[in-house]
Every structure is written in C-alpha cells, then in structure tokens.
C-alpha cells in the first residue's frame, strides 16, 4: 500500500441494525453510523427477517458515515463484512429471495436436528463440524424448508448467510467467509471448507453453496450498480470478513490463544481462539473457523444475556433507564436475598442445547423487592456466562491468560463487578468499543496491506484500558452458583410440558 490517505469500511448487519464504521489505515475510527429495523415472530419459536432491510440499511449507513466523516469516498480502499451468523437466505436462479430469512434465534427446527443426528450420527456429526445439530444453525433450517415448504425448496439455487446476501448486493458475487460458513454446520472444520460428504448425506445440492474465503481475502469488488446506490466508487475490493462473533473477537483483540473474550450483548458469548481445530467431544461448546486466517475458535453461547435485562425493563419498568435499574439492584445484598433467575427466555444453547428451556425466578417470597428481582437478573446472566467459562476451562484448550469483555451490557461498572465476582477472575476492558464492525474494518485493512497481519493490527490498535478484580463476594457466589446449576435439571421436564 502506498502512503496516500486511504480508508476502510466495516459493515455489520446484525439482527436489529446495520452499522457502518470508517477507519483510516492506522486503525483510527473516523465515523460510525447505524440504521435500525425489526424482525418478525409470526409463530411461536419463529424468527424471520426480510433481507431487503439489510441492504436498505447498509446503503443508508454507508452514505451517512462517509458524509459525517467528511472524507473523499473515492479514497475508500476496502470493505469488510460481518453480521449475524447462522441465518438462512435462499435465492432462486435469478438471485431473487425465495422467502424471509430464518434467523439465528429461530427455534422451529428440533425435528430436523433429530433427523440429522439419525442420518449422520451425533458423534460423527460433531467430529466433522465441531458442533452438535442445534436449532439455531443453518443446516436444519434448510431441511425445515424441504419438509414444510417443498415448493420453495425446489427453487433453491443459492444458499447464503445474511452478511453474504449483503456481499451479493455489493458485488454480484456469491461467496462466504470461512468463519461464517463453518457456522452453517455444513463445514468440515479441519479442512476449513464445505463437507461434500455431509451435504450429500443430507440430500442437499453442493452447487447451492458458494466458494469460501479467509477473512482477509478479496471476494469481489463493488459493482457499478452498488456504487451508484452507496455513493462509493466502483471496483472497491470487498473482503471476506467474518461472522459477527469472530469479527467481534478481531475488534477486541481476541485473536491469540490465552485471551478469552466475553461479549455481553442481546446474547452472551464466551470466546477463545485456538491455533488448531479444537472440538469439545460432546458438542457443548461451538467450534468454528476464526476470521483470522488459519485459526479456529471455541465459543459458548447463552441466548438471552443483556436481552434478559432488556426484557425485564420493557416488562416491568420501561420508565427506568438501564443504569437506574442497575443502581437499584446493587442496593440489595449479593445473592438477591435467596432469589435466583434463570435466563432461558428464548431457550438456551450452552450448556443446555434446549430450545424449550424457559426463564423464571425461583425462591420468591413476600420479602423480595424490586431491587432483589433486578439484581437476580444481573446475577442470573452472570451465572449463565460462568457455565460457558467453566466449560472453556475444563475443555483442555490451554491456559487462559486474561479475560476481556465488550458489548452494551459491559458499559455498567456495577454489572461488570458482579460478573467478575461470579467468574472469580479479573476482567479487562479495551479501548475498542465498536466490536464486530471495527473487526470487519480491521480485516479489510489487513487484507489490503495496511497491516502485515490481523494479529499485528490488533496489537497496534487495541489496548487494555480498565480492570475489574473480583471482590470478597466471589466466595459467596461460588455457593450460589452451585444452587443455580441445580435448577435446569430439576425443571427441564416441566419446561417441556409447558411448551
């Protein structure tokens, strides 16, 4: 790369908004813009979205961030993509969307998951893909369309993930990054590419699935039509990028073994990088390709992390801000006076892959106050994160040198203290606040040669800025965690009957 001023766009197409972030070649953030949208839940367990929403929002966010940053759009030298994982976007032979996208948090496909285990074998499936067949993943969604909408299934010619539909709109090319592709659970994890045998066993067509690329590889260039809509110049290279969790790991510097990252957003993710494919034999942890070339990662996922606090606020106290809720919560003692919250409001993934798991408060008495209920939600989410953290520590991945945390929920120091106490470990914050979108921009900059490697880029532009150490409350929380762990096994049958 020459010394002329150049810029890089990171685009993050999430469940609720598409964000565009602009950085210069040193990694400095010059602007951020986001355009929001909704998703639909037309039936119980369903979650769908119109793919056109992502494109409309992307165009608006790109135009806004370039304008507000005041840069010459002709000097944008690369675009990196990230977005929600596991969603199913199916197109016909003309590239037209056949039905609304089925999203990552959709839970309708339990029967198809059972069928995959029967056809392939659970242990064999885990060894190939690094994962059990779970309702959130892409593969069972394809089979659901086959079983429930055969007239649509017959028209399928292309299968994409949400961000890769955005890639198609930008470039006209069909492609997928390897981090996102492995999240379909149709990948051979060790080979970092589609498993032809698995696709054949499940009765799908191999030519539905696009070529795969590392996160820093060029997958196509901006088309003239897309340039006209976005206000950018044609032929800008579009790089592979990564699924939102691996791109977020790049955005927080979790790209080397020993660094464990926690993302406290709507869902909660505990993430660790591996230098080789690492598979937890029971499939309780998800194993995917990393957006960093030649690396892999493990992650545990709870479906309702900060989403639990949002539900609590919207249901019981919409007049209060999140900070006001937390401020009231910490007025009551640790343990919420014996009140426990189960954060399974949208089912669960780790450590219980159960779409029918349900949330609840256990131990309520007439003595409990609003503060107790609020604190129990904060503690219940932290206990859920600890489930994944303990699996990481016991999986044999290697030493955890330090833990980083990001996401909207991580902005409140009092909730951070509860999490540090419940995990009984120090938690570090970093100066990177934009997560996945920033990671996508860094992947594009690295691919374009602004940095010699993704690892070097992260060492250069991301720094630890804060530390929260566990307090003397950690010992008490160890006892409460044992009680929390008893709840799901005791209530599982009841959850299923209620559902």
- Among residues 12, 188, 244, 473, the one annotated as catalytic is 244
- Indicate whether 148 belongs to any domain: yes
Whether 196 is a known active-site residue: answer: no
- Indicate whether 222 belongs to any domain: yes
Domain carrying residue 16: 7-252
Same domain, 350 and 232: no
- Indicate whether 451 belongs to any domain: no
- Indicate whether 363 belongs to any domain: yes
Q: Is 463 annotated as a binding residue?
A: no
Same domain, 221 and 311: no
- Indicate whether 128 belongs to any domain: yes
- Indicate whether 475 belongs to any domain: yes
Instruction: Kindly give the confidence (pLDDT) of every residue in the chain, 499 residues in length, as a single tens digit, with 9 standing for 90 and above.
Output: 545 689 999 999 999 899 999 999 999 999 999 999 999 999 988 999 999 999 999 999 999 999 999 999 999 999 999 999 999 999 999 999 999 999 998 989 999 999 999 999 999 999 999 999 999 999 999 999 999 999 999 999 999 999 999 999 999 999 999 999 999 999 999 999 999 999 999 999 999 999 999 999 999 999 999 999 999 999 999 999 999 999 999 999 999 999 999 989 888 999 999 999 989 888 889 999 999 999 999 999 999 999 999 999 999 999 999 999 999 999 999 999 999 999 999 899 899 989 899 999 999 999 999 999 999 999 999 999 999 999 988 887 778 888 999 888 888 999 999 999 999 999 999 988 788 999 999 999 999 999 999 999 999 999 989 999 999 989 999 999 999 999 999 999 999 999 8
- Indicate whether 358 belongs to any domain: yes
Same domain, 226 and 347: no
Q: Which H, E and C letters describe the chain, residue by residue?
A: CCCCCCEEEEEEECCCEEEEEEEECCCCEEEEEEEECCCECCCCCCCEECCHHHHHHHHHHHHHHHHHHCCCHHHEEEEEEEECCCCEEEECCCCCECCCEECCCCCCCHHHHHHHHHHHCHHHHHHHHCCCCCCCCHHHHHHHHHHHCHHHHCCCCEEECHHHHHHHHHHCCCCEEHHHHHCCCCEECCCCEECHHHHHHCCCCHHHCCCEECCCCEEEECCHHHHHHHCCCCCCEEEEEEEHHHHHHHHHCCCCCCEEEEEECCCEEEEEEECCCCCCCCCCCEEEECCCCCCEEEEEEECCCHHHHHHHHHHHCCCCCHHHHHHHHCCCCCCHHHCEEECCECEECCCCCECCCCCEEECCCCCCCHHHHHHHHHHHHHHHHHHHHHHHHHCCCCCCCEEEEECHHHHCHHHHHHHHHHHCCCEEEECCCCHHHHHHHHHHHHHCCCCCCHHHHHHHHCCEEEEECCCCCHHHHHHHHHHHHHHHHHHHHHHHHHC
Q: Is 286 annotated as a binding residue?
A: no
CATH number at residue 48: 3.30.420.40
Same domain, 108 and 167: yes
Total domains present in the chain: 2
- Indicate whether 76 belongs to any domain: yes
């Amino acid at each position: 790369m020459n010394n002329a001023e150049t810029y890089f766009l990171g685009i993050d197409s999430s469940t609720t908004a598409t964000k565009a972030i602009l950085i210069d070649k040193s990694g400095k953030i010059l602007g951020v813009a986001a355009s929001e949208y909704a998703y639909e839940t037309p039936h119980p367990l369903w979650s769908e979205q119109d793919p056109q929403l992502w494109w409309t929002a992307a165009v608006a966010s790109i135009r806004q961030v370039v304008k507000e940053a005041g840069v010459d759009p002709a000097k944008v030298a690369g675009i990196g993509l990230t977005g929600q994982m596991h969603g199913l976007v199916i197109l016909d032979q003309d590239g037209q969307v056949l039905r609304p996208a089925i999203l990552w948090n959709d839970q309708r496909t339990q029967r198809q998951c059972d069928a995959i285990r029967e056809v392939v074998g659970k242990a064999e499936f885990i060894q190939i893909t690094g994962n059990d067949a779970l309702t959130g993943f892409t593969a069972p969604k394809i089979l659901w369309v086959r079983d429930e909408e055969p007239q649509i299934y017959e028209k399928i010619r292309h299968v994409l993930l949400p961000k890769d539909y955005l890639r198609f709109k930008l470039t006209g090319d069909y492609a997928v990054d390897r981090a996102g592709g492995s999240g379909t659970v149709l990948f051979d994890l060790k080979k970092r590419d589609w498993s032809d045998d698995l696709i054949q066993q499940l009765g799908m067509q191999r030519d539905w699935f696009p070529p795969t690329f590392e996160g820093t590889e060029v997958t196509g260039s901006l088309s003239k039509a897309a340039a006209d809509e976005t206000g950018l110049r044609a032929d800008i290279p579009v790089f592979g990028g990564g699924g939102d969790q691996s791109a977020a790991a790049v955005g927080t510097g979790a790209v080397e073994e020993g660094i464990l990252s926690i993302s406290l957003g709507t869902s909660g993710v505990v993430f660790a990088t591996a230098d080789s494919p690492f598979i937890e034999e029971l499939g309780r942890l998800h194993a995917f390709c990393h957006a960093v070339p030649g690396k892999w990662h493990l992650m545990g996922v709870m479906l309702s992390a900060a989403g639990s606090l949002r539900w609590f606020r919207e249901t019981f106290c919409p007049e209060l801000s999140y900070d006001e809720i937390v401020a009231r919560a910490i007025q009551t003692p640790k343990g919420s006076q014996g009140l426990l919250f189960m954060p399974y409001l949208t089912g669960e993934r780790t450590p219980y892959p159960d779409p029918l798991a349900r949330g609840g408060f256990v131990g309520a008495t007439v003595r409990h106050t609003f503060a107790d209920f609020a604190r129990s939600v904060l503690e219940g989410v932290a206990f859920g994160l600890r489930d994944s953290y303990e699996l990481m520590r016991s999986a044999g991945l290697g030493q955890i040198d330090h833990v980083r945390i990001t996401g909207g929920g991580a902005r409140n120091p009092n909730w951070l203290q509860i999490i540090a106490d419940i995990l009984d470990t120090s938690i570090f914050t970093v100066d990177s606040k934009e997560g996945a979108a920033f990671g996508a921009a860094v992947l594009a900059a690295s691919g374009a040669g602004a940095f010699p490697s993704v690892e070097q880029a992260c060492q250069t532009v991301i720094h630890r800025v804060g530390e929260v150490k566990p307090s003397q409350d950690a010992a008490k929380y160890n006892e409460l965690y044992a009680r929390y762990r008893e709840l799901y096994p005791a209530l599982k049958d009841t959850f299923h009957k209620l559902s």
